[in-house]
Chain A
Amino acid sequence: MSTSLLIQKGRIVDPSQNIDEVLDLLIENGKIQKIAKNISAGEVEIFDARGKIVAPGFIDLHVHFREPGFEHKETILTGMRSAAMGGFTAVCCMPNTEPAMDEPGTVGFVLLKAKEGNLIRVYPIGAATRGREGKVMTEIGHLKKAGVIAISDDGEPIYDAYMMRRVMEYAHMFGLKVIDHCEDKNLSQQGVMNEGYMSTLLGLTGIPSVAEEVMVMRDILMSQYTQIPVHLAHLSTRGSVDLVRWAKAKGLPVTAETAPHYFSLSDEEMTSYRTEFKMNPPLRTREDVKAIQEGLKDGTLDAIATDHAPHQEVEKEVEFDMAPFGIIGLETSVGLGLNHLVHPGILTLSKWIDKMSCRPAQILNLPGGNLRVGENGDVTILDLGKEWSVGEIPFESKSKNSPFREIKLKGKAVGTIVGGRVVMRDGEVISKIKDQKSK
Chain B
Amino acid sequence: MKWNRKHLLGLEDLSQEEIEYILKTAESFKDISIRPIKKVPALRGKTIATVFFEPSTRTRTSFELAAKRLSADTLSITAIASSVVKGESLKDTVRNLEALKVDCMIVRHECSGVPHLISRYLEASVVNAGDGSHEHPTQALVDLFTILEKKKTLEGLKVVIVGDILHSRVARSNIFGMTKLRMNVQVVGPRTLIPKEIERLGVSVSHRLDDVIPEADVLMFLRIQSERQKKNLFPSLREYSENYGMSIQRLKNTKPDCLIMHPGPINRGIELASEVADGPQSVILDQVTNGLAVRMAVLFLVAGGGE
* Interface residues, chain A, with chain B CB atoms under 8 Å away: 195-197, 199-206, 272-273, 314, 317-322
Given known contacts A320-B111, A322-B111, is B117 in contact with A273 (CB within 8 Å)? yes
B223 interface residue per 8 A CB criterion: no
A81, chain B: closest CB distance, angstroms: 29
B114 interface residue per 8 A CB criterion: yes
A401 to B236, CA, bound (A): 43
Q: List 25 A-B contacts (CB under 8 A).
A: A195-B196, A196-B196, A197-B196, A200-B196, A200-B197, A200-B201, A201-B12, A201-B172, A202-B113, A202-B134, A203-B132, A203-B134, A203-B135, A204-B113, A204-B134, A206-B195, A272-B116, A317-B89, A318-B89, A318-B91, A319-B90, A319-B114, A320-B111, A320-B112, A320-B113
Contact between B196 and A206 (Cβ–Cβ < 8 Å)?
yes
Per-position 1/0 for B109-134, Cβ under 8 A of A: 11111101100000000000001111
Q: Which residues of A contact B134 (CB under 8 A)?
A: 202-204
Contact between B195 and A319 (Cβ–Cβ < 8 Å)?
no
Q: Which residues of B contact A204 (CB under 8 A)?
A: 112-113, 132-134
Q: Which residues of A contact B135 (CB under 8 A)?
A: 203
Q: Which residues of A contact B201 (CB under 8 A)?
A: 200-201
Q: Which residues of B contact A319 (CB under 8 A)?
A: 90, 109, 111, 113-114, 117
Closest A-B pairs by Cβ, 6 of them: A203-B134, A273-B113, A203-B133, A319-B111, A197-B197, A200-B195
A199 to B113, CA, bound (A): 12
A430 to B166, CA, bound (A): 53
Contact of A321 among B89, B132, B196, B198 (CB under 8 A): B132
B169 interface residue per 8 A CB criterion: yes
Closest A residue by C-beta to B91: A317
A201 to B132, CA, bound (A): 12
Closest B residue by C-beta to A321: B111
B35 interface residue per 8 A CB criterion: no
B171, chain A: closest CB distance, angstroms: 10
A311, chain B: closest CB distance, angstroms: 14
Q: Which residues of B contact A206 (CB under 8 A)?
A: 195-196
Contact between A199 and B90 (Cβ–Cβ < 8 Å)?
no
Contact between B195 and A199 (Cβ–Cβ < 8 Å)?
yes
A206 to B132, CA, bound (A): 13
Contact of A314 among B89, B112, B116, B131 (CB under 8 A): B89
Contact between A199 and B196 (Cβ–Cβ < 8 Å)?
yes
Q: Which residues of A contact B90 (CB under 8 A)?
A: 318-319
Beyond the given A200-B197, A320-B117, please list 12 additional residue pairs across the A-B interface where CB-CB is below 8 A: A195-B196, A197-B196, A199-B196, A203-B135, A204-B132, A273-B116, A318-B90, A319-B111, A319-B113, A319-B117, A320-B112, A321-B132
A318 to B132, CA, bound (A): 14
Q: Which residues of B contact A321 (CB under 8 A)?
A: 110-112, 132
A204 to B172, CA, bound (A): 12
Q: Which residues of A contact B196 (CB under 8 A)?
A: 195-197, 199-200, 206
* Interface residues, chain B, with chain A CB atoms under 8 Å away: 12, 89-91, 109-114, 116-117, 131-135, 169, 172, 195-198, 200-201
Summarize A's interface: helix, strand, loop or mixed.
Answer: loop
B170, chain A: closest CB distance, angstroms: 11
Closest B residue by C-beta to A320: B113
A205 to B133, CA, bound (A): 8
Q: B12, B116, B201: which has the most chain A beta carbons within 10 Å?
A: B116
Q: Which residues of A contact B131 (CB under 8 A)?
A: 203
Q: Which residues of B contact A196 (CB under 8 A)?
A: 196-197
A196 to B198, CA, bound (A): 9
Q: Which residues of B contact A199 (CB under 8 A)?
A: 195-196
Contact between A273 and B112 (Cβ–Cβ < 8 Å)?
yes
B109, chain A: closest CB distance, angstroms: 7
A222 to B259, CA, bound (A): 57
B88, chain A: closest CB distance, angstroms: 11
Q: Which residues of A contact B110 (CB under 8 A)?
A: 321
B228, chain A: closest CB distance, angstroms: 12
B178, chain A: closest CB distance, angstroms: 15
A204 to B200, CA, bound (A): 16
Contact between A197 and B200 (Cβ–Cβ < 8 Å)?
yes
A184 to B114, CA, bound (A): 28
A214 to B234, CA, bound (A): 24
Q: B89, B113, B114: which has the most chain A beta carbons within 10 Å?
A: B113
Q: Which residues of A contact B200 (CB under 8 A)?
A: 197, 200
Contact between A200 and B169 (Cβ–Cβ < 8 Å)?
no
B135, chain A: closest CB distance, angstroms: 7
A284, chain B: closest CB distance, angstroms: 13
Given known contacts A314-B89, A317-B89, is B112 in contact with A203 (CB within 8 Å)? yes
A96 to B197, CA, bound (A): 35
A240, chain B: closest CB distance, angstroms: 18
A204, chain B: closest CB distance, angstroms: 5
A322 to B109, CA, bound (A): 12
A317 to B132, CA, bound (A): 17
A317 to B114, CA, bound (A): 11
A205 to B132, CA, bound (A): 10
Q: Which residues of A contact B116 (CB under 8 A)?
A: 272-273
Q: Which residues of B contact A203 (CB under 8 A)?
A: 112-113, 131-135, 169, 172
A202 to B198, CA, bound (A): 11
A268 to B195, CA, bound (A): 17
Closest A residue by C-beta to B115: A273
Closest A residue by C-beta to B173: A203
Q: Which residues of A contact B172 (CB under 8 A)?
A: 201, 203
Q: Which residues of A contact B132 (CB under 8 A)?
A: 203-204, 321
B132, chain A: closest CB distance, angstroms: 5
Q: Which residues of A contact B198 (CB under 8 A)?
A: 200
Q: Which residues of A contact B113 (CB under 8 A)?
A: 202-204, 273, 319-320
Q: Which residues of A contact B91 (CB under 8 A)?
A: 317-318
Q: Which residues of B contact A273 (CB under 8 A)?
A: 112-113, 116-117
A98, chain B: closest CB distance, angstroms: 19
Closest B residue by C-beta to A200: B195
Closest A residue by C-beta to B10: A203
B264, chain A: closest CB distance, angstroms: 20
Closest A residue by C-beta to B231: A189
Q: A199, A272, A273, A317: which has the most chain B beta carbons within 10 Å?
A: A273
Closest B residue by C-beta to A206: B196
A120 to B195, CA, bound (A): 47
